[in-house]
């Protein structure tokens, strides 16, 4: 394990760039995994980690030391805690990072089963939560329009808690083109002229359209829906966080399919 101590070191500069800018991640085709759980899931799924980064205090933790021992085949560097915090993509550094090559864009094929299409979802926490929920209910394909946050950014990865490695994620999707031949339900959340979620038959293929936190679905994407759906809220609230709304819808579909 190589010890580094300067912010001017090229590797340290590279890590900081990956942590802070989407442009640098796209330029180098790499991103950062933060935390022992993500690194462990990546190893279990056979992800080709390029570099392991430890803080001095992190290396002193038995859990992280054991993880490091499993990664003898991966290049490793050790940073002082302050320098590790400088390259960490989160406010509370975990003590371990890994550099992950960005996956190649998946092939486009017909949408025959249920999937989620996200339109302009820019909050990393919400995006990661929706990916995690999709993976939890067995929906394995998620489509993102160009206005969404970068799916493989460190903060989205952290919120996804490993869900990325079990999903097919399409970014920069032309929604109209991808949904043109879909014969199932295309459902958009809306409060006007909408059917109650719990009155719908969700046992067949469904594309769930989920919009941005502030503006909802863009008009062109909303127009692709063949049904509008609302989540009943007898408590009087006007709306739900998009991550919560996605979870309610996807788990209702799972409940119906199990029944």
Tell me: pLDDT of 196 over 70: yes
Instruction: Give the number of other CB atoms < 10 A from CB of residue 15.
Output: 26
- pLDDT tens digits, 83-110: 999 999 988 899 999 999 999 999 888 8
100: Cβ–Cβ under 8 A, 6 or more apart, which residues? 30, 31, 32, 33, 42, 47, 48, 49, 50, 152
Which two structure tokens, joined as six digits, stand for 189? 């959340």
Tell me: pLDDT of 133 over 70: yes
% of the chain surpassing 90 pLDDT: 83
- Whole-angstrom distance, CA of residue 187 vs CA of residue 207: 6
Q: Mean per-residue pLDDT for 167-186? A: 95
Q: How confident is the model at residue 42 (pLDDT cuts 50, 70, 90)?
A: very high
Q: How confident is the model at residue 130 (pLDDT cuts 50, 70, 90)?
A: very high
Would you state the pLDDT for residue 34?
96
Residue 1 vs residues 69, 73, 79, 88, 223: alpha-carbon distances, Å = 11, 11, 10, 19, 55
Half-sphere exposure of 95 (CA within 13 A, CB side): 14
- pLDDT tens digits, 205-236: 999 999 987 788 999 999 999 999 999 888 87
Would you state the pLDDT for residue 48?
93
Tell me: pLDDT of 239 over 80: no
Q: How confident is the model at residue 191 (pLDDT cuts 50, 70, 90)?
A: low
Would you state the pLDDT for residue 215?
82
């Amino acid at each position: 394990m190589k010890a580094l101590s300067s912010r001017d070191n090229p590797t340290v500069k590279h890590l900081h760039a990956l942590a802070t800018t989407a442009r640098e991640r796209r330029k180098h085709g790499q991103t950062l995994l933060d935390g022992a759980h993500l690194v462990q899931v990546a190893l279990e799924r056979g992800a080709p980690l390029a570099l392991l980064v430890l803080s001095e205090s992190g290396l002193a933790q038995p859990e992280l030391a054991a993880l490091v021992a499993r990664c003898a085949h991966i290049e490793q560097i050790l940073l002082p805690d302050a320098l590790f915090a400088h390259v960490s993509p989160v406010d509370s550094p975990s003590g371990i990072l890994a550099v992950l090559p960005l996956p190649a864009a998946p092939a486009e094929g017909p949408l025959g089963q249920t999937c989620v299409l996200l339109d302009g979802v820019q909050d990393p926490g919400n995006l990661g939560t929706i990916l995690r929920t999709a993976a939890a209910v067995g929906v394995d394909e998620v489509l993102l329009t160009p206005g969404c946050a970068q799916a493989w950014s460190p903060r989205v990865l952290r919120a996804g808690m490993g869900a990325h490695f079990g999903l097919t994620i399409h970014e920069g999707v032309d929604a109209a083109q991808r949904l043109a031949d879909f014969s199932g339900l295309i459902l958009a959340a809306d409060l006007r002229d909408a059917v109650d979620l719990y009155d719908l038959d969700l046992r067949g293929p469904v594309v769930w359209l989920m919009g941005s936190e502030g503006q909802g679905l863009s008009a062109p994407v909303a127009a692709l829906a063949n049904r509008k759906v609302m989540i009943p809220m007898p408590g009087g609230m006007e709306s739900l966080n998009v991550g919560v709304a996605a979870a309610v819808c996807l788990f209702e579909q799972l409940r119906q399919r199990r029944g």
